[in-house]
Structure 1
Amino acid sequence: MSNVWKPEAFQGKGKKENYFEGWYFKSVSKDEKTAYAVILGISVSRNKTISHSFVMLVDAAKQKLYYFQYPISEFWGNTKKFEVKIGRNYFSLESIKLDMDDGKDKIKADLKIANIYPWPVALLSPGTMGWYAFVPMMECYHATASFDHSIEGHFDVNGIITDFTGGKGYLEKDWGRSMPSSWIWMQTNHFDEDGVSLFGSIAKIPWLGSFFTGFIFGFYYKKHIYRFATYTGAEIQKLNVSPGRIEIIVKDKKYTLEISADRTEGIDLPAPKLGEMTAKVNESLKSKILVRFYRKGPNGNELLFSGVGRSAGLEFVGNIQELISGFAKPRKRG
């Protein structure tokens, strides 16, 4: 239990089967012409022959995925803080160093990270999951390790060097048995106003033989994180998914977030199911998300912020009706 208050650190020590853990770095160059997602982690299956560690690079502009696979033995994770080594690759809250060559693709990177802003950790609410972090055997856990940070350094992808100095980054992670069967995920920290970031997730959560739809939204604005989540008593007032757009309204007693996200072309990424990287998720890094943030006042809602987030990550997986029905009382699964 000691590292429940350090959710960004490695959580999987001693896991032998049906387990995954993955960290997600999103990096966008200063001119916003290049966006890369670096995803690293481990996949622990009952079938030891397919268990492995991995590093993925997603190129948003070229809609290309690079997947480098390593033996589990080449993975090392620090249980006290975020520090991971996979092969010749190194990751922490301060830096990313990539050195990968599979004979077909050669990728190197040397990035320094500064000015991170994580989801706050408190005694009874250790990070993004709130008190759910204490619940054992949940299907999936989540942590937001940095809403927004600055980048210095470069990527070298097959000899093409891109300078990311002056760019922005984001860092989160997931761990558990499987990703949910239905979920929505979104993230952007590229608004006209500096220091603004949005993260949001809505997902089907298995629960005591039933399920419910849980959600977490964090809006980082003026150096404060406004939290809207199942465990904070907030409510989803609107959830609509169409082929071109996702619309959400989430509110609590004091604040309201209105979100309208454009769905754009994405790329299929491997995702974990019972620890194995056999599922698929389509993710875009080129979406735009309109955000309006209101505070309740004596004469109605007062608009505090309105802006469009660019270079946005966006995912929708599964069934929207399943998510909507899960807001009601949990029902038995047949």
Structure 2
Amino acid sequence: MIFNRLRAIWKPELYHGWGKKNKFFEGWYYKIISKDQDYAFAFIPGIAMDENGIKQAFIQILDGKKLKSNYIKFPFDEFKPNPSVHDIIIGKNRFKTNSIELNLPDVKGKLIFNDIVPWSKSFFSPGIMGPFSFLPFMECYHGILSMNHSINGELIINKNKINFDCGRGYIEKDWGHSFPLGYVWMQSNHFSKSEISFKLSVAKIPIKGFSFIGFIAGVWVNSELIEFTTYNFSNLRKCSISKEEVSIEMDNNKYKLIVKAIRSKSTKLAAPIQGFMDSKIEESMNSKIDLVLIDKKINKSIIDDIGSSACIEVAGNYSLLLK
């Protein structure tokens, strides 16, 4: 049990709940977009334990085009994680880094993911959390399984066969006991060039009696992941949030990042609070992100593009993030 928990520190894609009995959640987020972008879904398998030790497994489905969501509960003993590789079974459904198999009342089929683009990692920075991965008292941890990949396969959704060949996908995860006090999160890998992918989050993070604004952004371009994070001495220069848009600026010693996200209609999703999925957040899958990445040395834009089928969440007391 202890070995499984230690191994998961350096493999954040794995299950982290070994030995946990209460106040814990873990969920994996699979974003699925068809080639023509007419279909946008998120499939979120996970588990939740409340403060009294009541446990459940779940699969949450977000239909980004129809603005609908569905939360399907399973007995906890139907959740079967592999301790060595990312391979999660919930009932008759299976979730891996390179595939998903769904056998739900209204969703059936299998999708294969190719050309996975993971977040960078090292011994002292096991994933997107960097050195914060080693702190045992964080409220919420985060991981990236794939910044960008292609999709092959089809799903039968509400008796309609949908082909996802040559679609695009993205996979991330969260675990802990609650989402941050306030946060903004966004992602798109539908730019004019298929090899561009972008992810950003800014959050108010409490740690043992004090709190700070943490941020993470990654731009995958030209086969390189450019990172802006709290722990690599990047700077958050601006964070402005309104009902219509989110504007954020960051920089590091080489690059400047300018982001303007245009918000669109959103859908309610279940979210964790003290381990159980009793809170609500709202997510859009139809937004647009205006992304500019500037090489500071030559003062030239590497990217000046608009990402579509963008996901955006603005949740909690986001006024804490304004700058």
TM-score by length of 1: 0.93
Q: Tell me if structure 2 keeps the 8 A contact 1:180–1:204.
A: yes
- Per the alignment, residue 19 of structure 1 pairs with 24
SS in 2 for 1:11: coil
Deviation at 1:84, TM superposition (A): 0.1
**CA-based RMSD:** 1.1
Q: Tell me if structure 2 keeps the 8 A contact 1:113–1:151.
A: yes
Q: Deviations over 1:64-112 (max 9, x none)?
A: 11221101100011222211000000010121001012xxxx2212111
* Cα distance in 2, alignment partners of residues 48 and 137 from structure 1: 19
Q: Deviations over 1:198-220 (max 9, x none)?
A: 01110111122011110000111
* Cα distance in 2, alignment partners of residues 34 and 13 from structure 1: 36
Q: Tell me if structure 1 keeps the 8 A contact 2:71–2:270.
A: no
* Cα distance in 1, alignment partners of residues 223 and 83 from structure 2: 28
Relative to structure 1, the CA distance from residue 321 to residue 56 in structure 2 (aligned partners, 3 Å threshold; closer, same or farther) is: closer
SS in 2 for 1:322: helix
Match of 2:310 among 301, 307, 312: 312
SS in 2 for 1:68: strand
* Cα distance in 2, alignment partners of residues 132 and 258 from structure 1: 25
* Cα distance in 1, alignment partners of residues 36 and 322 from structure 2: 38
- Per the alignment, residue 180 of structure 1 pairs with 180
Deviation at 1:47, TM superposition (A): 3.1
Deviation at 1:242, TM superposition (A): 1.3
Q: Tell me if structure 2 keeps the 8 A contact 1:202–1:214.
A: yes
Q: Tell me if structure 2 keeps the 8 A contact 1:98–1:109.
A: yes
Match of 2:75 among 71, 76, 81: 71
Count of aligned pairs = 318
SS in 2 for 1:122: coil
Query: What does 1:68-217 align with in structure 2 at a 5 Å threshold?
Result: 68-101=72-105, 106-217=106-217
Unaligned 5+ residue runs, structure 2? 1-5
Deviation at 1:48, TM superposition (A): 4.1
Unaligned 5+ residue runs, structure 1? 326-334
Q: Tell me if structure 2 keeps the 8 A contact 1:10–1:80.
A: no
Q: Deviations over 1:158-194 (max 9, x none)?
A: 2011100110100000000111120000000000112
Query: What does 1:286-305 align with in structure 2 at a 5 Å threshold?
Result: 286-297=286-297, 301-305=299-303
Match of 1:322 among 310, 320, 323: 320
State whether structure 2 residue 68 is matched by structure 1 residue 59: no
Q: Tell me if structure 2 keeps the 8 A contact 1:250–1:258.
A: yes
Percent identical pairs in the alignment equals 38
- AA at the equivalent of 2:204: K
* Cα distance in 2, alignment partners of residues 324 and 310 from structure 1: 25
- Per the alignment, residue 40 of structure 1 pairs with 45
* Cα distance in 1, alignment partners of residues 97 and 206 from structure 2: 31
- Per the alignment, residue 332 of structure 1 pairs with none
* Cα distance in 2, alignment partners of residues 109 and 97 from structure 1: 6
Q: Tell me if structure 2 keeps the 8 A contact 1:10–1:81.
A: no
Q: Tell me if structure 2 keeps the 8 A contact 1:11–1:79.
A: no
SS in 2 for 1:26: strand
- Per the alignment, residue 278 of structure 1 pairs with 278
- Per the alignment, residue 330 of structure 1 pairs with none
- Per the alignment, residue 331 of structure 1 pairs with none
Deviation at 1:128, TM superposition (A): 0.3
Q: Deviations over 1:215-234 (max 9, x none)?
A: 00011111111110110111
Q: Deviations over 1:33-81 (max 9, x none)?
A: 00000011000113344x2100111111111112211011000112222
* Cα distance in 1, alignment partners of residues 173 and 77 from structure 2: 21
State whether structure 2 residue 245 is matched by structure 1 residue 240: no
- Per the alignment, residue 261 of structure 1 pairs with 261
Q: Deviations over 1:294-327 (max 9, x none)?
A: 01126xx2211110000000000123331237xx
Q: Tell me if structure 2 keeps the 8 A contact 1:195–1:222.
A: yes
SS in 2 for 1:126: coil
Deviation at 1:2, TM superposition (A): 2.2
* Cα distance in 2, alignment partners of residues 319 and 67 from structure 1: 24
* Cα distance in 2, alignment partners of residues 63 and 47 from structure 1: 33
* Cα distance in 1, alignment partners of residues 292 and 211 from structure 2: 30
* Cα distance in 1, alignment partners of residues 112 and 278 from structure 2: 32
- AA at the equivalent of 1:96: I
* Cα distance in 1, alignment partners of residues 94 and 7 from structure 2: 24
* Cα distance in 1, alignment partners of residues 309 and 275 from structure 2: 29
SS in 2 for 1:38: strand
* Cα distance in 1, alignment partners of residues 96 and 218 from structure 2: 22
